[in-house]
Structure 1
Amino acid sequence: MNAPKDFHYRMPRRIGGQRPGAHRSVTAGSGQEFIAHQTLFDRPDPRRLDLRASVRDPEQRWLVRVTRQRAGIPVYLVADVSASMAFGSTATKLERLAEFARSLGDSSFWMGDALGLLAFDRTERTDLMLAPMRSRGAGLMIAEALLRSRADQPSSAGLAEACMRIAGRQALVFVASDFHAPLPELGKAFDLLSHAHVVPLVIWDEVEPQAPDGDGLLALRDIETGRRRGLWLRPVIRRRWKDAFAQRRADLQKMFADRGMRPFYMTGAFDADALSRYFFEAV
């Protein structure tokens, strides 16, 4: 496989945490961002002594500089491995997701953040779970785990189960799926991640939004349930197909907006530059 191109991400707000990293934090420590002066008695750290401020102090106190340190944050990829992710024209959605995972591994490594994996189909896939690790090979391990998984379960209802593991934690969470599950089910899962910064990664194939060209009888098979049916293609059906997909996108957009989230749509190959722009716009 070709080497993945990494992307750049920044948290849009300050984070907590004691482990040093690249993100703005609320934690006082060894950093370059000045907060205030305190007396040497209140903060006994002679290394931070500010002689100029001490000389100007009307009470003639020894003053030290208090600064904020930068901190790291755990990064999670919550991946849908249900049957619909096996669909694809030039490459399956799962292969596109693995491509993203490899890029995320390199990106989180350069940022000094730990990267972990949670996966789901009808239930949580604990066999694919990887604890957060600070390793340059974390993305490759996740990509290989995703490609080895069998996408044969006819549902993605396990999203809430997977999200329960990180509910209440401060983290950067990428939830990757085609999001064809019912909206109330998706909403309940995302409500569990209110303390995290969540990036919904909507993975669609290039051929999904529009019906095939031409008129005639089309044999269809539901990739999730395996159910077969026939559909007579004609202009009105193609228009309804396109309108239904546009409505689905609008409904997803509203569900995410109601929770303060902004989705990233990945139609076709993963574009690292586009995801970098997504984070720059958010910040």
Structure 2
Amino acid sequence: MSFQRDFHYRMPMRVGGQRPGAHRSSTTGSGQEFIAHQTLFDRPDPRRLDLRASIRDPEGRWLVRVNRQRAGIPVYLVADVSASMAFGSAASKIQRMSEFALSLGDSVFRTGDALGMLAYDASERTDLMLAPMHSRGAGVMMAESLARARADQPSTAGIFQACSRIAGKQALVFLASDFHAPLEQTSAALDLLSHAYVVPMVIWDEVEPKAPEGEGLLALRDIESGRRRGLWLRPQIRRRWEDAFAERREALETLFSSRGVRPFYMTGRFDADALSRYFFEAV
């Protein structure tokens, strides 16, 4: 498995929590971001005494500075390991996702956040679950688990069960899937993650959006059901193939934008620089 260098991320909104970290916080503490002055009586912390502000105070009160501290936040990878994720030309979508998990592990450790993983197919995959931890090896553990994961279930109905574990929590969630499942399932998952900052990782293979070259009879096998069928390739079918992917992308854009979420498209290998730009634009 090739090494992927890390990317840079920051939460675009203020986060809560008492654990120090790298993100802007709404919590008062020992940070450098000044909020206001309070009297020494209301906030008895002589270390924060502001002598200049106290001298200028018309009421002659002793004033202390109140600052905001930076805080950490839990980061989750919510991974689709259904049968469609086993498809791939140069590498399967699950292998691409495991490459991303390596980069995610390095990035989260460097930032100082905790990293965990949830997974699903027809039901929640508790065998792949990883509780949030502050560890340099968390990304490696996730990548190795995904690389060994069984991906033979045709359904993604377990997304609701998996996301229920972090429902109502403030977190950074990478929702990684090819999103070929019914959009109602994705919509229900986004409802559960309304308190989190969600980054939908739309993982598509390079050959998916375009029909195969040439004309003639093409033997196809449904990777989820295993059923085989023949398809006669002709210009009309090729246009319908490509139009279907364009319509799917438009439907995903509509769904995510209605929730204030912007997807990150990962076609082929993971691009760390592209994901860094994604966060810079959001911030």
- Following superposition, the deviation at residue 2 of structure 1 comes to 3.7
- 1:114 equivalenced with 2:133 (yes/no): no
Matched AA of 2:80:
D
Residue pairs, 1:174-185, within 5 angstroms: 174-185=174-185
User: Partners in 2 of 1:184 and 1:43 — Cα distance?
Assistant: 50
Q: C-alpha offsets along residues 245-279 of structure 1, whole Å, 9 cap, x if unaligned?
A: 00000001101111110000000000000000000
Quote the residue 2:9 is aligned against: 9
Instruction: Name the CA distance, whole Å, in 2 between partners of 1:240 and 1:229.
Output: 17
For residues 189 and 22 of structure 1, the distance between their equivalents in structure 2, rounded to whole angstroms, comes to: 27
Aligned letter for 2:128?
L
Aligned equivalent of 1:64: 64
Structure 1 alignment gaps of length 5 or more: none
Q: 1:273, 1:242 → 2: CA distance?
A: 28
SS in 1 for 2:201: strand
Percent identity over the alignment is 78
Alpha-carbon distance in structure 2 between the residues aligned to 1:157 and 1:178: 14
CA distance in 1, matches of 2:162, 2:174: 12
Task: Give the corresponding residue for 2:208.
Answer: 208
Partner in structure 2 of residue 165 of structure 1: 165
Structure 2 distance, partners of 1:189, 1:14, is 23
Q: Give the 3-state SS of the residue equivalent to 1:60 in structure 2.
A: coil
Alignment of 1:1-283 (within 5 A): 1-283=1-283
SS of 2:31 mapped into structure 1: strand
**What TM-score, normalized by structure 2, do the two folds share?**
0.99
Contact between 2:3 and 2:99, CA under 8 Å: does it hold in 1?
no
* CA distance in structure 2 between the partners assigned to 1:194 and 1:59 by the alignment: 46
What is the one-letter code of the residue matched to 1:9? Answer: Y
Q: In structure 2, what is the Cα distance between the partners aligned to 1:256 and 1:246?
A: 15
| Paired AA for residue 171 in structure 1 | A
**What secondary structure sits across from 2:198 in the alignment?**
strand
- The count of corresponding residues between Structure 1 and Structure 2 is 283
Offset of residue 4 of structure 1: 2.2
Report the Cα distance in structure 1 between the residues aligned to 2:223 and 2:151, rounded to whole angstroms: 10
Q: For 1:79-131, what per-residue CA distance to the aligned partner results, in whole angstroms no more than 9, with x for missing partners?
A: 00111111100011001000000000010111110000000011000111000
Report the 3-state secondary structure (helix = DSSP H, G, I; strand = E; otherwise coil) of the residue aligned with 1:31.
coil
CA apart distance, 1:3: 3.1
